[in-house]
A = this chain, B = another copy of it.
Amino acid sequence: MKKILLTTALLAATAGAASAEITLSGSGRFGLAYTDSAAPGFSSTVLSYRLRVNVNAKFEADNGVTYGGRIRFQNSNGQATSPFSPAMLYVEASGVRVEVGNANTAYDSVALMYNSEVGFLSRSHGDPQGSYYGFNSGPYGSGEANRVGIYAAYSVSGVNLKASLIQADQSVSGGDDEMSIAADYQAAQFTVAAAYAQNGGGIADNDLTFVGVAYKFGDAGSVGLNYNDNGTIGGLEVGKTTTLYGTYSINGIGLIAYVTDSNVAAADTAYGLGASYDLGGATLAGGIESGFAGEMRADLGVNMSF
């Protein structure tokens, strides 16, 4: 028994005492990605792959409080740059979770927002298009090293409340901090969610809004409607999108379809179709989408999680 990963953790567990451990989790994906809009001389189809590993440090105190931290490293498509995220640390107790450092954000964590994604690359033209912070998977850029965030989440009776504050540069006074809040609620077949971000991505007056509703019918299907006001960058509106999507499962095959409309002048209606099949744990997934300029993209590949 002495060869188990963290001997201290095991001994602690045996004694019923506090326990500490560092574990690894992650995900992988690979497949083909196609676009009909490659520049001349560039490939229209590429092999896309990513391996992501989360390093999860956790300490469970006897009094029920959990402390921990996370660093992520990943490699996407052979990228040559350092694959390490900045660190996040957290405390959890009595349903409240507080994160500091490379924290999650309320806006990026709201329910339903990414529900229209299709394919093994998890993409959708109905995803938010604006600028806002989230947990940073790679290293901060050279001008971002002093970014710091605080995030708090509280769950009670099916209601999830989240708030976050990200300082773009905590070493200096002032600056345009991103503040965001989010709430979602599930009751029977219905889920509703909303989020708001001020100074999204640390850009002054870039305020974003999300509202989503979803309805689940039976075990097999669902429909949802997402609205995104994607904020304002450099005095120009990024645009507002409304996305309708539906999912259906039949014989182990999952189907998903969405259509999204933008208020940007001359934007086409974008839409996408996706299918997925459970390979006994890993998932084969493909998608085909038409964008706001009528451009087509498609993917087919495998998702796995560890």
Least CB distance from A30 to B in Å reads 4
Residue from the list B22, B28, B62, B87 in contact with A67, Cβ < 8 A: B28
Q: Cβ of B170 and Cβ of A101 under 8 Å apart?
A: no
Q: Cβ of B63 and Cβ of A21 under 8 Å apart?
A: no
Is residue A251 within 8 Å, beta carbon to beta carbon, of the partner chain? no
Closest chain B residue to A146, Cβ basis = B78
Least CB distance from A165 to B in Å reads 10
A70-83 CB mask vs B (1 if < 8 Å, else 0) is: 11011111111111
Q: Cβ of B57 and Cβ of A306 under 8 Å apart?
A: yes
Task: Return chain B residues, CB-CB under 8 Å to A182.
Answer: none
Question: How many A residues face the partner with a CB closer than 8 A?
Answer: 88
Is residue A9 within 8 Å, beta carbon to beta carbon, of the partner chain? yes
Closest chain B residue to A61, Cβ basis = B280
Task: Return chain B residues, CB-CB under 8 Å to A281.
Answer: 18, 20, 59-62, 67
Task: Return chain B residues, CB-CB under 8 Å to A59.
Answer: 281-282, 304-306
Q: Cβ of A87 and Cβ of B75 under 8 Å apart?
A: yes
Q: Cβ of B91 and Cβ of A302 under 8 Å apart?
A: yes
Q: Cβ of A75 and Cβ of B68 under 8 Å apart?
A: no
Number of copies: 3
Task: Return chain B residues, CB-CB under 8 Å to A80.
Answer: 139-142, 144-145
Least CB distance from A173 to B in Å reads 6
Least CB distance from A157 to B in Å reads 27
Task: Return chain B residues, CB-CB under 8 Å to A20.
Answer: 281, 304-306
Q: Cβ of A55 and Cβ of B24 under 8 Å apart?
A: yes
A252-269 CB mask vs B (1 if < 8 Å, else 0) is: 000000000000000000
Task: Return chain B residues, CB-CB under 8 Å to A62.
Answer: 280-281
| Interface residue stretch chosen among A40-48, A104-112, A220-228 | A40-48
Report the Cα distance A142→B88, complex, angstroms: 28
Residue from the list B30, B63, B89, B147 in contact with A100, Cβ < 8 A: B30
The 9 closest A-B pairs by CB, nearest first: A61-B280, A51-B87, A75-B87, A18-B281, A22-B24, A51-B69, A78-B86, A3-B9, A28-B69
4 more A-B contacts (CB under 8 A) besides A53-B71, A83-B84? A22-B26, A22-B306, A51-B57, A67-B279
